[in-house]
Structure 1
Amino acid sequence: MSGVKLLGINGSPASRRVEWALKIKGVEYEFIEEDLQNKSQLLLESNPVYKKIPVLLHNGKPIAESLVIIEYIDEVFEGPCILPKDPYDRAIARFWAKFLDEKLPAVWKALWSQGEEQEEDKKEAYEVLKVLDNELKDKKFFGGDGIGFVDIAANFVGFWIGIVEEATGVVLVTSENFPNFCAWRNKYLNCDQVKENMPSREMLLGYFKSRVQAVANGPK
């Protein structure tokens, strides 16, 4: 063991980002599953500011926030580069990863809200998806010909969003509205790297369907 531990949740997009980066670098690590309803003392001590996953522990030193962790992994461990080597390209990659982290909550909200609120949320989600669709014009992946930092950061819209759409019955992404994004997602989902670094689709679908059912059976 390389002195690396990851505090996370198996079905979390943020946790999976970090695991993917560790695997790219060939780093052995211990995964510690957290319960966010009963957070461990280790998590609370390791991330006292946000008190959330993921947290990487490297030789006992904690690093929080998935994108920050990925950059740390890229800089500290030997192996294939995750971020581009060119400073300008690295800056652009950081920009789009930050965009995803800031804007994807709008997409998540549109999948779960209802009624008039959902219609407003959908408009905001469509604007986010439109920006991503435009960025992917004439590109195979965000990183160019191969998967890179931004594609890893985009794992929620690449993998999770379709599962939540199926569970909730809310459709946000169509090839008519977002052709470049859908072309990227199809390539993404058929990439071996993605298949190796994502949780069970069936497990996630069951989880989200149970959430939908719980909402339906909740207080009227």
Structure 2
Amino acid sequence: MEEVKLHGFWPSPFSHRVIWALKLKGVEYEYVEEDIANKSELLLKYNPIHKKIPVLVHGGKPIAESLVILEYIEEIWPHNPLLPTDAYHKAIARFWIQFGQGNDYFRSFFQESGEEQEKAAKEILEMLKILEEQGLGDKKFFGGDAINLVDIAHGWLPLWFETIEEAVGVKLMEPTTLPRLHAWMHNFMQVDVIKQNLPDRQKLFAHMKNLRDKFVAPTIG
């Protein structure tokens, strides 16, 4: 079997997406922790365009961008499938994988305050309601009875977004406003592979709070 390495960063939900997929597939890999403030020469070599983690290196060949890596993992290791086999249902799953990805509203909610943050919060709630009503529906997981790549793509919500809410001091994902999505979060976090491969909550909160404090500097004068 060709060597598999994953270059990641411990607080990154994008790194954890790849970890979860590899674990669910039972793929042996070596994890390489990157210092984002002092990126390794290997990382810059493997991802010269974006210079970001995660990067999966399979047989010496690098693949960048977490969602691209997930698709690669699914294709190279087709056992324990994480996408439907039916072409239509696979396309629908891919739609929901992409839904909301890279949206600036989450960034604004975390980095801004006042009116900008309130606007971002409103947009996030509308987006999450669509995800709940049309993406998740009445299913236990987006994949039905078991998690799939849609669940993994949105798997940052239970821990990472909750930690952001705590750091910001604004709660959006309440069981009263998003009951099915809230139940999904609980179910997702109970999956063994997920709960056994998460960063420490307190350490993650300290990291997020430190970042938040840098973005929102106190006004002087």
Alignment TM-score > 0.5, same fold:
yes
- 1:123 equivalenced with 2:122 (yes/no): yes
| Structure 2 letter corresponding to 1:113 | E
Equivalent-residue separation in structure 2 for 1:3 and 1:120 (angstroms): 46
Check whether the contact 1:6–1:54 (CA below 8 A) recurs between aligned residues.
yes
Q: Deviation at 1:195?
A: 0.2
Check whether the contact 1:2–1:27 (CA below 8 A) recurs between aligned residues.
no
- 1:109 equivalenced with 2:108 (yes/no): yes
Q: Deviation at 1:216?
A: 6.1
Equivalent residue pairs, number: 219
In terms of mean alpha carbon deviation, does 24-33 or 184-193 score higher?
184-193
Check whether the contact 1:100–1:154 (CA below 8 A) recurs between aligned residues.
no
Report what 2:138 is aligned to. 138
| Structure 2 letter corresponding to 1:100 | G
Report what 2:175 is aligned to. 175
Q: Deviation at 1:157?
A: 1.3
Equivalent-residue separation in structure 2 for 1:70 and 1:142 (angstroms): 16
Normalization by structure 2: what TM-score?
0.91
**RCO (CA 8 Å, sep 6+): is it higher in 1 or 2?**
2
Gaps in structure 2 of 5+ consecutive residues: none
Equivalent-residue separation in structure 2 for 1:218 and 1:48 (angstroms): 36
Check whether the contact 1:111–1:170 (CA below 8 A) recurs between aligned residues.
no
1:100 alignment partner, SS class: coil
Structure 1, residues 79-135: CA drift from partner, whole Å, max 9, x if none? 3111221111111111111113143x4234213320111111112111211111212
Equivalent-residue separation in structure 2 for 1:93 and 1:100 (angstroms): 13
Check whether the contact 2:6–2:31 (CA below 8 A) recurs between aligned residues.
yes
